[in-house]
Structure 1
Amino acid sequence: MSRLLRRLRKMLRRAKSLVAIGSIMFFLINGFHLTSISTTPSLAVKENIDIQQQAAASTQQFTITLQTHYVCGVETEKLQFHHQREMEDWLTEHGYRWKVLERNGGHYVLGREVSDDLSERCKETGYFGIDQDGVLTIFEGPPSDNKVIQTFFRIDTKKLESLLPQEEVETLIQGIRIESMEEYLGVLSTYSPFAEQ
């Protein structure tokens, strides 16, 4: 019987070592597998990341700043789009009228020139007058407010005072209201002969 016990002990020792080796191998294999899963994103995780990036890109604001340069004044309008497709549709329909002045990511600045009209700002508040340096100027509001919109040429004030009635000189100093392109051109043609040479 002692022989049998010795054999059983021997077999148990071998079995314990095999179980231990098997356990170690099991943990090494599964541990490596778990590590590789945790460091390498699955296909589902990758797709989720792509969807989030697309959603972020689709919520980006797109803006177009429109600058219309008139004979007198500049008007600016800002358009905002929530999706790039909306902006592209607007550009397809209206973009031919505009020139790209600047582009920065999702922001565009477009400009155009209108050579036969005044801006609404000039029509509503524009006055021709003379600034402190004797330059023919368009002001926003009366010249005394000193809000310059556009300057032209220096006027020979001595020549102006000697050739025009004092009332007309005073009218220019106080400000001549302009509301149309015809008035604008009329004032320029009246005072251009008094430009300093």
Structure 2
Amino acid sequence: MKPIIPKQIIIIFTSFFMFCAVLYTTLEIKGNAEVNKRNNDQLMEEPDEAYEVNGPLKLTVVLERIYVDGEVSEEVLEETIWAMEDFWADYEDWQLVTQDEEQVVFQMHIDDISPLLKSNGYFGITEEGILTIFDGKPDEQSKIIQSFYQIDVEKLESHQHNLLKNGIKVFSKDEYEQVLEAFKPYSAQPH
């Protein structure tokens, strides 16, 4: 049986492709050599200049975290920056607030209550009848963390009033929101 493609045609095509490959490689090498020569010539033409190397950049970084309950925590860091790209990548999830040559301030809104509120926060009521979160159980010496709205104490049932006087411990964002919603109907102000 005769081959479908004669041997001479296969040899001609193979020779042609090999010739093209050698020609392409030669031209590519020659082109790269010319580019390298031009780059070297440009480098040789530029005058030698002394560049001052200052080393890494040192910045104060302030991280502000703003929690649902209004608490703002602030963390101050001293950063040594070798590459600005790395620095910005480290803080890509933060919002830039201010920046100068010595300090950068970032902010992040946290969808949770603050660690202070989780550890020692209690809802209560002031003597004036204002729904408030205290640092510790509500009493005259307790520090106020956040105040909300006036409660019409006349509308409260006695057990609700006692709960607020003794303090309602807050452990999570859900509890925080539930307490606010539960006492909203007793607000002295219109909604």
TM-score class, shorter-chain normalisation, is: 0.5 to 0.7
Distance 1:88 1:148 in 2: 42
Please name the residue that 1:21 is paired with.
Answer: none
Please name the residue that 2:67 is paired with.
Answer: 70
Contact 2:129 2:152 (C-alpha < 8 Å) held by counterparts? yes
Contact 1:62 1:87 (C-alpha < 8 Å) held by counterparts? no
Instruction: Give the gaps of 5 or more residues in structure 1.
Output: 1-46
Distance 2:168 2:81 in 1: 47
Identity %: 33
TM-score in terms of structure 1 length:
0.62
Could you list the structure 1 runs, at least 4 aligned residues long, displaced by more than 6 angstroms after superposition. none
Please name the residue that 1:113 is paired with.
Answer: 109
TM-score in terms of structure 2 length:
0.63
- Cα drift, residue 184 of structure 1: 0.9
Larger Cα-atom Rg: 1
Please name the residue that 2:39 is paired with.
Answer: none
Within the alignment, does 1:98 sit opposite 2:98 as a pair?
no
Contact 1:65 1:76 (C-alpha < 8 Å) held by counterparts? yes
Distance 1:142 1:101 in 2: 35
Q: Counterpart of 2:68 in 1: which secondary structure? A: strand
Please name the residue that 2:174 is paired with.
Answer: 182
Please name the residue that 1:195 is paired with.
Answer: 187
Distance 1:151 1:102 in 2: 29
Q: Match of 2:61, as an amino acid?
A: I
Decide which structure has greater helix share.
1
Please name the residue that 2:82 is paired with.
Answer: 85
Q: Match of 2:137, as an amino acid?
A: P
Q: Match of 1:114, as an amino acid?
A: I
Q: Match of 1:102, as an amino acid?
A: T
- Cα drift, residue 150 of structure 1: 1.5
Change (3 A) 1:100 1:132: farther
Within the alignment, does 1:127 sit opposite 2:122 as a pair?
yes
Contact 2:65 2:73 (C-alpha < 8 Å) held by counterparts? yes
